[in-house]
Structure 1
Amino acid sequence: MDYINPTLDLSEIRARFGRDRRVLIRDFFKPDVADALARAVEAIDWSLCYRDTQGDRRLTGEQLRGLEEDQRAHLINGITEVARRGFQFSFFTESLADAMYRGETGLLARFIRWMADEAFLSVMRDITGVPDVNRVYAQATMYAPGSFLLAHDDHVDVEDRRLAYVINLTRQWRPDWGGLLNFSDRDGSVRDSYFPHFNSLSLFAVPQTHFVSYVPPFAQGQRNAITGWLIAA
Protein backbone atom coordinates (compact mmCIF):
# COMPACT_ATOMS: atom_id res chain seq x y z
CA MET A 1 0.00 0.00 0.00
CA ASP A 2 1.23 3.51 -0.83
CA TYR A 3 0.73 5.80 2.17
CA ILE A 4 2.41 8.88 0.65
CA ASN A 5 0.45 11.84 -0.71
CA PRO A 6 0.54 11.36 -4.51
CA THR A 7 0.29 15.12 -5.19
CA LEU A 8 3.69 15.97 -3.68
CA ASP A 9 6.08 17.81 -6.00
CA LEU A 10 9.13 15.62 -5.43
CA SER A 11 11.36 17.64 -7.74
CA GLU A 12 10.70 20.81 -5.75
CA ILE A 13 11.28 18.96 -2.47
CA ARG A 14 14.51 17.49 -3.87
CA ALA A 15 15.72 20.98 -4.77
CA ARG A 16 15.04 22.33 -1.28
CA PHE A 17 16.85 19.43 0.36
CA GLY A 18 19.79 19.80 -2.00
CA ARG A 19 20.12 23.48 -1.08
CA ASP A 20 19.84 23.21 2.72
CA ARG A 21 20.48 19.50 3.53
CA ARG A 22 17.11 19.57 5.27
CA VAL A 23 13.47 20.03 4.34
CA LEU A 24 10.03 20.31 5.95
CA ILE A 25 7.39 18.63 3.79
CA ARG A 26 3.75 19.53 4.51
CA ASP A 27 0.92 17.00 3.97
CA PHE A 28 3.38 14.17 3.39
CA PHE A 29 0.92 11.30 3.93
CA LYS A 30 -2.58 10.75 2.68
CA PRO A 31 -5.05 12.32 5.17
CA ASP A 32 -6.55 9.03 6.34
CA VAL A 33 -3.07 7.62 6.98
CA ALA A 34 -2.06 10.62 9.10
CA ASP A 35 -5.33 10.43 11.06
CA ALA A 36 -4.87 6.72 11.78
CA LEU A 37 -1.25 7.20 12.86
CA ALA A 38 -2.21 10.09 15.14
CA ARG A 39 -4.91 8.01 16.87
CA ALA A 40 -2.51 5.11 17.35
CA VAL A 41 0.20 7.32 18.85
CA GLU A 42 -2.28 9.09 21.13
CA ALA A 43 -3.15 5.70 22.69
CA ILE A 44 0.44 4.84 23.73
CA ASP A 45 1.27 4.30 27.41
CA TRP A 46 4.41 6.41 27.32
CA SER A 47 7.78 5.84 28.97
CA LEU A 48 10.00 8.74 30.04
CA CYS A 49 13.54 8.77 28.65
CA TYR A 50 16.29 10.96 30.07
CA ARG A 51 19.90 10.80 31.25
CA ASP A 52 21.40 10.62 34.72
CA THR A 53 25.03 10.63 35.80
CA GLN A 54 25.34 6.95 34.77
CA GLY A 55 23.84 7.23 31.28
CA ASP A 56 20.51 6.86 29.48
CA ARG A 57 17.49 5.88 31.55
CA ARG A 58 13.86 4.95 30.91
CA LEU A 59 10.86 4.85 33.25
CA THR A 60 7.73 3.05 32.10
CA GLY A 61 4.28 4.57 32.44
CA GLU A 62 3.56 2.24 35.34
CA GLN A 63 6.76 3.28 37.11
CA LEU A 64 6.00 6.96 36.60
CA ARG A 65 2.49 6.62 38.00
CA GLY A 66 3.95 4.92 41.08
CA LEU A 67 6.26 7.81 42.00
CA GLU A 68 5.53 9.85 45.10
CA GLU A 69 5.63 13.64 44.90
CA ASP A 70 9.08 13.86 46.48
CA GLN A 71 10.37 11.19 44.09
CA ARG A 72 9.09 13.17 41.10
CA ALA A 73 10.79 16.30 42.41
CA HIS A 74 14.05 14.38 42.84
CA LEU A 75 13.77 13.04 39.29
CA ILE A 76 13.20 16.50 37.81
CA ASN A 77 16.06 17.99 39.82
CA GLY A 78 18.39 15.24 38.61
CA ILE A 79 17.41 15.82 34.97
CA THR A 80 17.97 19.55 35.38
CA GLU A 81 21.37 19.08 37.02
CA VAL A 82 22.65 16.90 34.15
CA ALA A 83 21.35 19.50 31.65
CA ARG A 84 23.39 22.19 33.40
CA ARG A 85 26.61 20.27 32.80
CA GLY A 86 26.19 18.69 29.36
CA PHE A 87 23.94 16.94 26.90
CA GLN A 88 20.49 16.03 28.19
CA PHE A 89 17.00 15.18 27.00
CA SER A 90 13.70 14.53 28.68
CA PHE A 91 10.69 13.38 26.70
CA PHE A 92 8.36 10.40 26.39
CA THR A 93 8.89 7.53 24.01
CA GLU A 94 7.90 4.10 22.75
CA SER A 95 10.19 2.00 20.56
CA LEU A 96 8.38 1.04 17.35
CA ALA A 97 11.40 -0.88 16.08
CA ASP A 98 11.08 -3.25 19.05
CA ALA A 99 7.41 -3.82 18.23
CA MET A 100 8.33 -4.68 14.66
CA TYR A 101 11.04 -7.13 15.73
CA ARG A 102 8.64 -8.79 18.20
CA GLY A 103 6.32 -9.56 15.31
CA GLU A 104 3.43 -7.42 16.53
CA THR A 105 0.61 -6.79 14.08
CA GLY A 106 -0.86 -3.47 15.25
CA LEU A 107 -1.05 -0.40 13.05
CA LEU A 108 2.24 1.13 14.22
CA ALA A 109 4.16 -2.13 13.79
CA ARG A 110 2.74 -2.50 10.27
CA PHE A 111 3.63 1.09 9.48
CA ILE A 112 7.25 0.62 10.54
CA ARG A 113 7.49 -2.49 8.38
CA TRP A 114 6.28 -0.34 5.48
CA MET A 115 8.92 2.30 6.30
CA ALA A 116 11.61 -0.39 6.26
CA ASP A 117 10.58 -1.46 2.75
CA GLU A 118 11.31 0.05 -0.65
CA ALA A 119 8.02 1.99 -0.88
CA PHE A 120 9.35 4.48 1.65
CA LEU A 121 13.12 4.10 1.38
CA SER A 122 13.19 4.66 -2.39
CA VAL A 123 11.38 7.99 -1.97
CA MET A 124 13.85 9.04 0.72
CA ARG A 125 16.79 8.17 -1.54
CA ASP A 126 15.21 10.12 -4.40
CA ILE A 127 14.54 13.24 -2.30
CA THR A 128 17.93 13.34 -0.60
CA GLY A 129 20.32 11.86 -3.15
CA VAL A 130 21.60 9.51 -0.44
CA PRO A 131 21.64 6.16 -2.29
CA ASP A 132 22.78 3.75 0.41
CA VAL A 133 20.14 4.03 3.15
CA ASN A 134 18.57 0.60 3.58
CA ARG A 135 17.52 0.40 7.23
CA VAL A 136 15.19 2.40 9.45
CA TYR A 137 14.97 3.00 13.19
CA ALA A 138 11.72 4.40 14.54
CA GLN A 139 10.26 5.47 17.86
CA ALA A 140 7.11 7.30 18.84
CA THR A 141 7.87 10.43 20.86
CA MET A 142 5.78 12.78 22.96
CA TYR A 143 6.83 16.18 24.31
CA ALA A 144 4.77 17.40 27.26
CA PRO A 145 5.37 20.32 29.66
CA GLY A 146 8.96 20.04 30.88
CA SER A 147 10.20 18.13 27.83
CA PHE A 148 13.26 19.20 25.81
CA LEU A 149 16.16 17.93 23.71
CA LEU A 150 19.48 19.79 23.92
CA ALA A 151 21.72 20.52 20.95
CA HIS A 152 23.44 17.55 19.29
CA ASP A 153 24.14 16.31 15.75
CA ASP A 154 22.86 12.67 15.82
CA HIS A 155 26.27 11.22 14.91
CA VAL A 156 27.20 7.99 16.70
CA ASP A 157 30.13 5.67 16.09
CA VAL A 158 28.18 2.41 16.33
CA GLU A 159 25.99 2.91 13.21
CA ASP A 160 26.01 4.93 10.00
CA ARG A 161 23.08 7.31 10.43
CA ARG A 162 22.70 9.18 7.16
CA LEU A 163 19.32 10.89 7.60
CA ALA A 164 17.06 11.83 10.51
CA TYR A 165 13.32 12.32 10.27
CA VAL A 166 10.31 13.51 12.27
CA ILE A 167 6.75 12.57 11.26
CA ASN A 168 4.62 15.19 13.03
CA LEU A 169 1.29 13.94 14.37
CA THR A 170 0.18 16.83 16.60
CA ARG A 171 -3.28 18.07 15.69
CA GLN A 172 -3.15 21.41 17.53
CA TRP A 173 -0.05 23.25 18.70
CA ARG A 174 1.29 26.76 19.21
CA PRO A 175 4.83 28.04 18.61
CA ASP A 176 4.95 29.60 22.10
CA TRP A 177 4.40 26.11 23.57
CA GLY A 178 7.95 25.16 22.51
CA GLY A 179 8.62 21.77 20.96
CA LEU A 180 10.04 23.28 17.76
CA LEU A 181 12.84 21.57 15.86
CA ASN A 182 15.66 24.11 15.55
CA PHE A 183 18.88 23.98 13.50
CA SER A 184 21.84 26.02 14.74
CA ASP A 185 25.29 27.11 13.60
CA ARG A 186 28.54 26.85 15.53
CA ASP A 187 28.11 30.40 16.83
CA GLY A 188 24.68 29.52 18.26
CA SER A 189 22.62 31.26 15.58
CA VAL A 190 19.36 29.46 14.80
CA ARG A 191 19.27 29.00 11.03
CA ASP A 192 15.92 27.22 10.70
CA SER A 193 13.01 26.46 12.98
CA TYR A 194 10.46 23.81 11.98
CA PHE A 195 6.96 24.01 13.42
CA PRO A 196 5.35 20.57 14.01
CA HIS A 197 2.54 20.96 11.47
CA PHE A 198 0.17 18.01 11.52
CA ASN A 199 1.05 15.46 8.81
CA SER A 200 4.41 17.01 7.99
CA LEU A 201 7.76 15.28 7.57
CA SER A 202 10.97 16.94 8.75
CA LEU A 203 13.95 15.33 7.02
CA PHE A 204 17.60 16.27 7.45
CA ALA A 205 21.09 14.96 6.78
CA VAL A 206 23.27 13.67 9.62
CA PRO A 207 25.40 15.15 11.14
CA GLN A 208 23.60 18.47 11.65
CA THR A 209 23.31 20.38 14.93
CA HIS A 210 19.72 20.64 16.13
CA PHE A 211 17.62 20.80 19.27
CA VAL A 212 13.96 20.72 20.34
CA SER A 213 12.91 23.76 22.35
CA TYR A 214 11.70 23.44 25.93
CA VAL A 215 7.96 22.89 26.41
CA PRO A 216 6.88 25.26 29.22
CA PRO A 217 4.49 24.39 32.07
CA PHE A 218 1.64 26.41 30.54
CA ALA A 219 1.57 24.39 27.28
CA GLN A 220 -1.82 22.78 26.79
CA GLY A 221 -1.34 19.57 24.89
CA GLN A 222 1.35 17.18 23.80
CA ARG A 223 3.58 17.22 20.75
CA ASN A 224 3.41 13.71 19.22
CA ALA A 225 5.60 12.32 16.45
CA ILE A 226 7.31 9.30 14.97
CA THR A 227 11.03 9.95 14.82
CA GLY A 228 14.22 8.13 13.96
CA TRP A 229 17.01 7.64 11.48
CA LEU A 230 17.64 6.16 8.05
CA ILE A 231 20.79 4.10 8.23
CA ALA A 232 23.30 2.68 5.79
CA ALA A 233 24.02 -0.88 6.92
Structure 2
Amino acid sequence: MIREFVIHPLLDARRLEPVFNRSGRLHLPGFLTSAGAETLAAAVAGAEGWTVSTMGGGSTIDLSAEAFASADAATKAALIASAHGEARTGFHYMFESLRISDHAEAGLPLSPTLKALYAWLNSEPFLSFAREISGDAELAYVDAQATRYRPGHYLNEHDDDKPGAGRRLAYVLNLTPVWRPSWGGLLAFIDPDGHVAEAYTPAFNALNLFRTPQPHMVSQVTAFAGASRLSVTGWIRTGR
Protein backbone atom coordinates (compact mmCIF):
# COMPACT_ATOMS: atom_id res chain seq x y z
CA MET A 1 0.00 0.00 0.00
CA ILE A 2 2.79 2.45 0.88
CA ARG A 3 4.13 2.12 -2.67
CA GLU A 4 1.00 3.86 -3.92
CA PHE A 5 2.39 7.17 -2.66
CA VAL A 6 5.18 8.51 -4.85
CA ILE A 7 6.32 12.13 -5.24
CA HIS A 8 6.13 13.11 -8.89
CA PRO A 9 9.60 12.60 -10.39
CA LEU A 10 9.60 16.06 -12.00
CA LEU A 11 9.63 17.69 -8.54
CA ASP A 12 13.32 18.09 -7.72
CA ALA A 13 13.70 19.23 -4.10
CA ARG A 14 17.23 20.53 -4.56
CA ARG A 15 16.23 22.74 -7.47
CA LEU A 16 13.19 23.97 -5.57
CA GLU A 17 15.11 24.85 -2.39
CA PRO A 18 16.15 28.41 -3.45
CA VAL A 19 12.57 29.14 -4.56
CA PHE A 20 11.18 27.90 -1.25
CA ASN A 21 13.71 29.86 0.79
CA ARG A 22 12.86 33.14 -0.92
CA SER A 23 9.59 33.49 0.99
CA GLY A 24 9.45 30.34 3.13
CA ARG A 25 6.47 28.94 1.25
CA LEU A 26 5.70 27.13 -1.98
CA HIS A 27 2.73 25.76 -3.95
CA LEU A 28 3.60 22.48 -5.68
CA PRO A 29 0.99 21.29 -8.23
CA GLY A 30 0.91 17.60 -9.15
CA PHE A 31 2.71 16.54 -5.99
CA LEU A 32 1.88 12.83 -6.04
CA THR A 33 1.79 10.60 -9.08
CA SER A 34 -1.80 10.33 -10.28
CA ALA A 35 -2.60 6.86 -8.92
CA GLY A 36 -1.60 7.82 -5.38
CA ALA A 37 -3.48 11.11 -5.49
CA GLU A 38 -6.67 9.47 -6.71
CA THR A 39 -6.43 6.65 -4.16
CA LEU A 40 -5.91 9.10 -1.33
CA ALA A 41 -8.68 11.43 -2.45
CA ALA A 42 -11.14 8.54 -2.53
CA ALA A 43 -10.06 7.41 0.94
CA VAL A 44 -10.51 10.86 2.47
CA ALA A 45 -13.85 11.45 0.73
CA GLY A 46 -15.14 8.11 2.00
CA ALA A 47 -13.64 8.24 5.49
CA GLU A 48 -15.73 7.75 8.62
CA GLY A 49 -15.30 9.15 12.12
CA TRP A 50 -15.21 12.88 11.31
CA THR A 51 -15.60 15.44 14.08
CA VAL A 52 -16.69 19.06 13.89
CA SER A 53 -13.68 20.84 15.34
CA THR A 54 -14.17 24.32 16.76
CA MET A 55 -13.52 26.44 19.86
CA GLY A 56 -15.48 27.71 22.83
CA GLY A 57 -14.09 29.99 25.49
CA GLY A 58 -10.56 29.44 24.19
CA SER A 59 -10.73 25.64 24.40
CA THR A 60 -11.02 23.05 21.65
CA ILE A 61 -14.45 21.51 21.12
CA ASP A 62 -14.88 18.32 19.12
CA LEU A 63 -18.38 17.19 18.18
CA SER A 64 -19.31 14.09 16.23
CA ALA A 65 -20.09 15.21 12.68
CA GLU A 66 -23.04 12.83 12.61
CA ALA A 67 -24.41 14.22 15.88
CA PHE A 68 -24.01 17.78 14.65
CA ALA A 69 -25.76 16.98 11.37
CA SER A 70 -28.72 15.45 13.20
CA ALA A 71 -29.09 18.28 15.75
CA ASP A 72 -32.13 20.52 15.49
CA ALA A 73 -31.92 23.87 13.74
CA ALA A 74 -32.01 25.90 16.97
CA THR A 75 -29.07 23.99 18.46
CA LYS A 76 -26.98 24.41 15.30
CA ALA A 77 -27.83 28.10 15.06
CA ALA A 78 -26.83 28.71 18.68
CA LEU A 79 -23.47 26.97 18.23
CA ILE A 80 -22.71 28.84 15.02
CA ALA A 81 -23.74 32.19 16.51
CA SER A 82 -21.44 31.59 19.49
CA ALA A 83 -18.57 30.58 17.17
CA HIS A 84 -19.01 33.65 14.99
CA GLY A 85 -19.10 35.89 18.04
CA GLU A 86 -15.69 34.61 19.12
CA ALA A 87 -14.31 34.61 15.56
CA ARG A 88 -15.19 38.25 15.09
CA THR A 89 -12.38 39.52 17.32
CA GLY A 90 -9.96 36.65 17.91
CA PHE A 91 -8.49 33.37 16.73
CA HIS A 92 -11.16 30.81 15.94
CA TYR A 93 -12.00 28.01 13.55
CA MET A 94 -14.71 25.62 12.50
CA PHE A 95 -14.19 22.69 10.15
CA GLU A 96 -14.39 18.91 10.17
CA SER A 97 -11.38 16.86 11.16
CA LEU A 98 -10.19 13.27 11.18
CA ARG A 99 -6.96 13.05 13.18
CA ILE A 100 -5.01 10.44 11.26
CA SER A 101 -1.99 10.50 13.60
CA ASP A 102 -4.07 9.98 16.73
CA HIS A 103 -6.07 7.16 15.18
CA ALA A 104 -3.00 5.39 13.84
CA GLU A 105 -1.01 5.64 17.08
CA ALA A 106 -3.93 4.62 19.31
CA GLY A 107 -5.02 1.74 17.10
CA LEU A 108 -8.41 3.35 16.42
CA PRO A 109 -10.37 2.54 13.25
CA LEU A 110 -8.66 3.95 10.18
CA SER A 111 -8.75 2.88 6.55
CA PRO A 112 -5.73 0.99 5.18
CA THR A 113 -5.03 3.86 2.76
CA LEU A 114 -4.87 6.46 5.55
CA LYS A 115 -2.69 4.17 7.68
CA ALA A 116 -0.37 3.77 4.70
CA LEU A 117 -0.31 7.53 4.14
CA TYR A 118 0.74 8.17 7.74
CA ALA A 119 3.53 5.59 7.41
CA TRP A 120 4.66 7.11 4.10
CA LEU A 121 4.74 10.65 5.46
CA ASN A 122 7.15 9.37 8.12
CA SER A 123 9.24 7.37 5.67
CA GLU A 124 12.54 8.43 4.18
CA PRO A 125 11.22 9.45 0.73
CA PHE A 126 8.92 12.16 2.14
CA LEU A 127 11.19 13.25 5.00
CA SER A 128 14.19 13.51 2.65
CA PHE A 129 12.14 15.65 0.26
CA ALA A 130 11.15 17.96 3.12
CA ARG A 131 14.73 18.20 4.40
CA GLU A 132 16.14 19.00 0.97
CA ILE A 133 13.55 21.57 -0.05
CA SER A 134 13.80 23.38 3.31
CA GLY A 135 17.49 22.84 4.07
CA ASP A 136 16.46 21.64 7.53
CA ALA A 137 18.30 18.42 8.39
CA GLU A 138 16.53 18.07 11.77
CA LEU A 139 13.11 17.14 10.39
CA ALA A 140 12.15 13.76 11.81
CA TYR A 141 8.38 13.37 12.24
CA VAL A 142 5.18 14.26 10.38
CA ASP A 143 1.74 14.39 11.97
CA ALA A 144 -1.43 14.35 9.90
CA GLN A 145 -5.13 15.08 9.95
CA ALA A 146 -7.72 15.02 7.20
CA THR A 147 -9.82 18.17 7.05
CA ARG A 148 -13.17 18.83 5.42
CA TYR A 149 -14.34 22.44 5.08
CA ARG A 150 -18.03 22.65 4.25
CA PRO A 151 -19.79 25.93 3.37
CA GLY A 152 -19.39 28.34 6.28
CA HIS A 153 -16.20 26.74 7.64
CA TYR A 154 -13.06 28.80 8.22
CA LEU A 155 -9.72 29.08 10.02
CA ASN A 156 -8.85 32.55 11.28
CA GLU A 157 -5.42 34.17 11.13
CA HIS A 158 -2.74 32.45 13.22
CA ASP A 159 0.92 31.52 12.89
CA ASP A 160 1.16 27.87 14.11
CA ASP A 161 3.66 28.85 16.80
CA LYS A 162 3.72 26.33 19.66
CA PRO A 163 6.91 26.44 21.74
CA GLY A 164 8.38 23.04 22.41
CA ALA A 165 6.39 21.23 19.70
CA GLY A 166 9.25 21.17 17.20
CA ARG A 167 7.13 22.55 14.37
CA ARG A 168 9.36 23.65 11.50
CA LEU A 169 7.12 23.32 8.44
CA ALA A 170 3.39 23.10 7.81
CA TYR A 171 1.89 21.31 4.84
CA VAL A 172 -1.49 21.03 3.12
CA LEU A 173 -2.11 18.36 0.48
CA ASN A 174 -5.29 19.35 -1.36
CA LEU A 175 -7.67 16.60 -2.47
CA THR A 176 -10.83 18.24 -3.86
CA PRO A 177 -11.11 17.32 -7.56
CA VAL A 178 -12.58 20.66 -8.71
CA TRP A 179 -12.43 24.02 -6.93
CA ARG A 180 -13.08 27.63 -7.93
CA PRO A 181 -11.32 30.53 -6.17
CA SER A 182 -14.69 32.25 -5.69
CA TRP A 183 -15.76 29.36 -3.44
CA GLY A 184 -13.32 30.57 -0.74
CA GLY A 185 -11.20 28.10 1.21
CA LEU A 186 -7.99 29.80 0.09
CA LEU A 187 -4.80 29.40 2.11
CA ALA A 188 -3.81 33.05 2.54
CA PHE A 189 -0.57 34.47 3.95
CA ILE A 190 -0.70 37.78 5.82
CA ASP A 191 2.05 40.39 5.56
CA PRO A 192 3.13 42.68 8.46
CA ASP A 193 0.74 45.42 7.23
CA GLY A 194 -2.24 43.10 7.51
CA HIS A 195 -2.65 42.60 3.76
CA VAL A 196 -2.90 39.25 2.01
CA ALA A 197 0.59 38.81 0.56
CA GLU A 198 -0.23 35.62 -1.33
CA ALA A 199 -3.04 33.06 -1.47
CA TYR A 200 -3.26 29.51 -2.83
CA THR A 201 -6.42 28.00 -4.28
CA PRO A 202 -6.89 24.38 -3.06
CA ALA A 203 -6.05 22.77 -6.42
CA PHE A 204 -6.29 18.99 -6.59
CA ASN A 205 -3.06 17.15 -5.69
CA ALA A 206 -1.17 20.37 -4.94
CA LEU A 207 1.08 20.45 -1.88
CA ASN A 208 1.34 23.75 -0.04
CA LEU A 209 4.45 23.86 2.13
CA PHE A 210 5.56 26.71 4.40
CA ARG A 211 7.80 27.53 7.32
CA THR A 212 6.36 28.14 10.75
CA PRO A 213 5.68 30.45 12.45
CA GLN A 214 4.12 32.44 9.61
CA PRO A 215 0.78 34.33 9.75
CA HIS A 216 -1.83 32.63 7.58
CA MET A 217 -5.52 31.71 7.42
CA VAL A 218 -8.07 29.69 5.45
CA SER A 219 -10.77 31.97 4.10
CA GLN A 220 -14.37 31.01 4.80
CA VAL A 221 -15.91 28.59 2.32
CA THR A 222 -18.83 30.34 0.65
CA ALA A 223 -22.46 29.31 0.97
CA PHE A 224 -22.58 28.60 -2.78
CA ALA A 225 -19.44 26.42 -2.92
CA GLY A 226 -20.02 23.38 -5.10
CA ALA A 227 -17.95 20.95 -3.02
CA SER A 228 -16.30 20.40 0.34
CA ARG A 229 -12.66 21.44 0.64
CA LEU A 230 -10.77 18.20 1.39
CA SER A 231 -7.13 17.96 2.38
CA VAL A 232 -4.54 16.24 4.51
CA THR A 233 -2.60 18.70 6.62
CA GLY A 234 -0.19 18.86 9.54
CA TRP A 235 3.28 19.83 10.68
CA ILE A 236 6.72 18.48 9.82
CA ARG A 237 8.57 18.46 13.11
CA THR A 238 11.89 17.72 14.77
CA GLY A 239 10.29 14.95 16.86
CA ARG A 240 7.05 13.65 18.32
| TM-score (normalised: structure 2) | 0.93
2:59 aligned to 43, 55, 59, which one? 55
Structure 1 residues 80 and 105: CA distance shift in structure 2, 3 A: closer
Query: Is residue 100 of structure 2 the alignment partner of residue 96 of structure 1?
Result: yes
Structure 2: where are the runs of 5+ without partners? none
Amino acid at match of 2:61: R
CA contact (8 A) 1:181 1:193 kept: yes
CA contact (8 A) 1:49 1:58 kept: yes
Identity rate of aligned residues, in percent? 38
1:232 aligned to 231, 234, 238, which one? 238
CA contact (8 A) 1:121 1:133 kept: yes
Amino acid at match of 1:164: A
- Matched residue, 2:79: 75
Query: Is residue 17 of structure 2 the alignment partner of residue 14 of structure 1?
Result: yes
Cα separation, 1, equivalents of 2:184 and 2:166: 30
Question: Deviation per CA, 1:27-80, whole angstroms, max 9, x where unpaired?
Answer: 110100000000000012321101011511011123213311100001110110
- Matched residue, 1:24: 27
CA contact (8 A) 2:47 2:111 kept: no
Cα separation, 1, equivalents of 2:47 and 2:72: 23
1:56-205 mapped onto 2 (5 Å cutoff):
56-103=60-107, 106-205=112-211
CA contact (8 A) 1:13 1:25 kept: no
26-35 vs 9-18, which moves further: 9-18
- Match of 2:88, SS state, is helix
101-110 vs 85-94, which moves further: 101-110
Shift of 1:125: 0.2
Cα separation, 1, equivalents of 2:155 and 2:147: 12
Structure 1: where are the runs of 5+ without partners? none
CA-based RMSD: 1.3
Cα separation, 1, equivalents of 2:226 and 2:164: 38
- Match of 2:11, SS state, is coil
- Aligned pair count reads 233
Question: Deviation per CA, 1:127-173, whole angstroms, max 9, x where unpaired?
Answer: 11111010111000011100111100000124110000000111011
Cα separation, 1, equivalents of 2:26 and 2:111: 31
Amino acid at match of 1:29: L
105-114 vs 223-232, which moves further: 105-114
Cα separation, 1, equivalents of 2:202 and 2:15: 20
| TM-score (normalised: structure 1) | 0.96
- Match of 2:185, SS state, is coil
- Match of 1:227, SS state, is strand
